[in-house]
Amino acid sequence: MLQTMVSMLETERTIHVQVHDGLVDLMLAALSAEPVTIDELRAAMGRFMEPAVVDFCFAEAADGLATRSTEGGHVIIDFTARLVVHGGAAPELPRLGCVLCCDQHTTLDVWLPYRIPEQWQIIRDVRNWRDLAERRRPVFAPDKDLDARAVLYPKLAEALVTRWLATADQSATPVTAIQDWWLLTPRDDLRGKSPRDVLLAKHEFVDGDVQDQGEIWSLLKRCPPGLAMRTHAYRYGGFGTHEILLYHELVALLLCDLERRHGAQRLGDPRAETAHLEQLQQEWMHQPQVEFYDQSPAALIARERARLPAVIPPGHEHLDHDCPLCRMMAESGQPMIWQLENSLLDERFATSFCRSRAEWECQQRDAAETPDWGPPGRLPESRGFTPDHSVWQNSFTNMTSLSEMPAWEAVNVMMFAVGGHMAELVQDLRGSDDTAELIQELHIRFDELRVVVKEQRELISVRSTIGQFAALLDDVARTYDALGLKCADLESKLDFLEKRYARHLGQDLEATY
């Protein structure tokens, strides 16, 4: 491997180290944790390598910017400007992909997912990078950090009481009206943005990073290191799905309390009402709740801010035998990851995840045009879906990451992906009459596939099992129109699984057996 010089610049210091190019990729992949200092980068590298390897990388670090290059080139990581100057001889690392894990506990090549945040710019110009860095540094200066949570939580109760006093008697639905007002109104203390703007600003990136950590957990069989509470990304980072959903529930809870206690009557002392809501807010945030497996909303939010997936605590694994993914995860011996659902929030733009009102209106039109299931056998010309919308609502597969994995890893990760899609498909089928037998048959086909893959049987057996599974999905699509695209997408995932399994066995998928 080529030796590469890496210089790192932060506000307090600048250092340089010499490492092989494979470790350079791991350093850049660690930017997925949004570090702003060298120490934060070192901690984030623990996602992809053991602490001893991280210490080895920095063992011979020297002060200052490197004045010479090596045969592998010179890579500069400027935290103050969120800038990577990739002057290395190796190809530039893509912003979304996988890197090879550096782990002495496994003899296999394990590829781990990462995603580089969009605020980081990557260039190749080693000679003229300083001017660009100087222009970018003011954008990322410490005084530009916005602590949105210091506004959204401490100022919530007072704002709701004030608005209720001013407008509650003007609306037939004060709870939803005031909730929408709070979420959609720009505020000076949020630098001209609305609470909704800051909630959704980095939603997709945070969710993707949390999902990546869950995937790393499943591949390495151990929990990756979460972000420490003192890190910049934990303190000022974006909001993920769990925190957004819980925040919406909190706002609705406080407003419903006002409505329950006062109705159409005028409020009493505003300061007393504010104090009451603040107390209610604290109690709800920190009280363990049964529906969260005896975890509090604050604990779930803290876990997501640390970029770790929510898991069912030991002793709470109440197995849903009608959920393919639940059964699969329980049998794997790994922690069971779970996710809050957001289906009801899309009914209003303010609480939806759409980035614009136009996008939400388009989504509502699509939903209205989607036909009902019955009667069986009817196949409309259009099922109401468009290519721009995700087929799945509560499950997601990172095909880019899967495509770059070694064959056997891709097979195992895809099995979990298929299980997630199956869980959503089964949930959809529960909403229709007389589907118990069909659901049971889907379980049987999925269980058969899990067995033949786990036992690494010959390709003809796997191919036959997938063929029977796909035939059943065709039957589901013909019977229930609205599930057609989901079934088609799931069949494409099974096709990918079959090809990767064949590659793992070193066999020709087109061969006749």
CA separation (Å) from 342 to 171, 349, 414, 421?
Answer: 26, 13, 24, 16
pLDDT of residue 107: 60
pLDDT at 17 over 90: yes
Q: How far apart are CA 276 and CA 274, in angstroms?
A: 5
Which among 174, 160, 159 has a CA at the least distance from the CA of 264? 174
Output the pLDDT for position 192.
Answer: 97
Q: How many angstroms separate the CA atoms of 444 and 5, rounded? A: 55
Q: Tell me the pLDDT tens digit for each residue of 399-413.
A: 877 887 888 888 988
CB atoms within 10 A of CB 344: 9
Per DSSP, the residues of 86-111 read EEESSPPPPSEEEEE-B-TT-SS--E
58-76 pLDDT tens trace: 999 999 999 888 888 999 9
Neighbours of 491 (CB within 10 A): 17
- Give the integer Cα–Cα distance in Å for 223 and 465: 33
At 373 the pLDDT is 42
How far from 510 is each of 202, 294, 449, 457, 501, CA to CA, in Å? 44, 51, 20, 18, 13
pLDDT digits (tens, 9 = 90+) for 318-339: 556 667 766 676 666 567 778 8
| pLDDT > 90 fraction of the chain, expressed in percent and rounded | 54
- H helices, E strands: number in the chain: 20, 8
User: Which pLDDT score, from 0 to 100, does residue 78 have?
Assistant: 97
Asked whether residue 369 carries a pLDDT value surpassing 80, the answer given is: no
> 379 near 478, Cβ under 8 Å?
yes
Return the higher-pLDDT residue of 448 and 416.
448
Task: Share the mean pLDDT of the chain.
Answer: 86
The proportion of the chain whose per-residue pLDDT surpasses 70, expressed as a percent, equals 86
Tell me if residue 253 falls in helix, strand or coil: helix
Distance CA 163, CA 153 (A): 16
CA dihedral 499, 505, 507, 508 (to 10 degrees): 10
Residue 126's pLDDT band (cuts 50, 70, 90): confident
Q: pTM to 2 decimals?
A: 0.76
What band does 156 get if pLDDT is binned at 50, 70 and 90?
Answer: very high
pLDDT of residue 62: 95
Residue 7's pLDDT is: 96
What's the chain's Rg over C-alpha atoms?
Answer: 26
Q: Give the pLDDT band of residue 433 (cuts 50, 70, 90).
A: confident
Give the pLDDT score at 266.
67
